[in-house]
Amino acid sequence: MATTPGPTLFVLFGATGDLARRMVLPAFYTLAIEGLLPDDWILVGNGRGDVSHENFRKHVHDALTEFGPAPGKGPWREFASRLRFAGGGFASADPGSLLDVIAEARSQLGEKAQLVHYLAIPPVAFPGITEALGTHGLAENARVVYEKPFGTSPSSFQSLNRLVHRVLKEEQVYRIDHFLGKEATQNLHVARFANEAFAAMWSRDHIESVQIDVPETLGVEQRAEFYDATGAVLDMLVTHLFQVAAEVAMEPPAGLGSADLQAAREKVIRAFRPLDPAEVVLGQYAGYKQIKGVRRGSRTDTYVAARLWIDNPRWRGVPFLLRTGKKLAESRQVVSLVLKSPKGPLSALPAQSNVLTFDLAGDGAIDLSLLAKRPGVALDLEPGHVQLPLAELPDAEPLPPYVRLIHDVLTGDRALFTRPDGLSATWKTVRPLLDSPPAPASYPQGSWGPAKARKLATWLLGS
């Protein structure tokens, strides 16, 4: 692990919100349990409410009790003693109590303490907080973490990007996409570049299609208002699925340092062909419109399946099928490289029987399906599977993605964060779909989505 960072002051905007409860606060506590936080630190939560330090500590305790790690484990008393809350919101015109609480924290940590701002707030609030950081002198030498999506349209992305760069230098900005922090996502490039068996077949010559599937059984009841203004395309496609596709498709980088990995991902994203709405299926699960917080007659997509093409020599002609949705048959997070059937003496081989799969869920796993001779006198072929659970590797210390990414912010490693040139290219890729979206087709809850989506590929998860 990297050297322990120096004294650090965290400011968590949206500290009492759903994202902070489910993801960010549990990640901070996991870092404390693993001994990966700085020796000296303070976390200041910020929100509109007038919450005492003690009540905020109780809020964090309740969040950890619900989402883990349970506060009964690990250094809870020491952790809680470093939590503060600054109420009254934070804006250029009115900073609330944040400046006073930060001044008090700096008196304990020292004026040179690293300042890290984490914006666990809706994207619509990013510009106001960013401007206020500059107005109140909290931007200089700070690191600022932006949750996804970074913009909600091509124009809002450009506007936000200009504003951010007026206040911050690019090296201060950490645009988080937690799919890039998953252990198995990182193994997409490690398995490829460390193993000639995989590296040799990683191209259009051997791969028939690439499937990226993130079906979810969950609905949107807990965040219906936010989701109805966003939908599957903005919530998942433009963010997670495009980034994972880039991780699969990038050319070998010069090295595995942060600048090299970022540059390789962004370069291949620029080769993404703009989506053809005729090759996209949108869906909305039955009963969605009856959820409290959903607009009457809403046409928001809760499902998207899109065929993506990459116009470069390695991938030309290989379809990348990206698929995700709510209220589906299973919850999975998998990347599947479907290999072509070999030409040779064995005829009538079953189609799509050779698949390399990276399971991105949990601690991750790599799975290979292949054909083998069934033991016996006849030449009978039988499909088989070989699986490598990554957590079972010797001395494995898997970290949840938010834990890994927040640790990277602490150490200043931007390898697993997105850059504006790549994000600009993703918005160009999705723009035709945003301009002319097909009507979402209804699909039953617990299904695999709209039936017409099955026409986009000859092999699909759940087939």
The residues assigned a catalytic role are 240
Instruction: Please give the order of strands across the beta sheet that includes 280-285.
Output: 381-389, 365-373, 355-359, 334-339, 207-215, 320-325, 303-308, 280-285, 441-443
Two tokens, residue 301: 């997509």
Vertex 74: Cα angle to 73 and 80 (nearest 5): 105
Please state the residue numbers annotated as binding site for substrate: 178, 182, 216, 235, 326
Q: Which residues are annotated as a binding site for NADP(+)?
A: 14-21, 48, 148
Report how far apart the first and last C-alpha atoms of the chain are (Å, whole number). 42
Residue type, 236: M
Is the distance from CB of 302 to CB of 288 less than 8 angstroms? Answer: yes
The three-class DSSP label of residue 90 is coil
CA distance 39 to 113: 12
**Strand, coil or helix: 403:** helix
The contacts of residue 185 (CB under 8 Å, 6+ apart) are 179, 244, 247, 358, 360, 364
Instruction: Locate 123 and state its tokens.
Output: 């994207």
5's tokens: 């960072």
The answer to whether 102 and 86 are in contact (CB under 8 A) is: yes
Which 3 state secondary structure label does DSSP give 429? helix
DSSP state of 305: E
Instruction: Assess contact for 183 and 364: CB atoms under 8 A.
Output: yes
Nearest Cα to Cα of residue 246 among 457, 460, 428, 425: 425
Q: Quote the DSSP letter at residue 10.
A: E
Q: Which residues contact 395 (CB under 8 A, 6 or more apart)?
A: none
CA distance 357 to 363: 14
Known binding residues: 14-21, 48, 148, 178, 182, 216, 235, 326
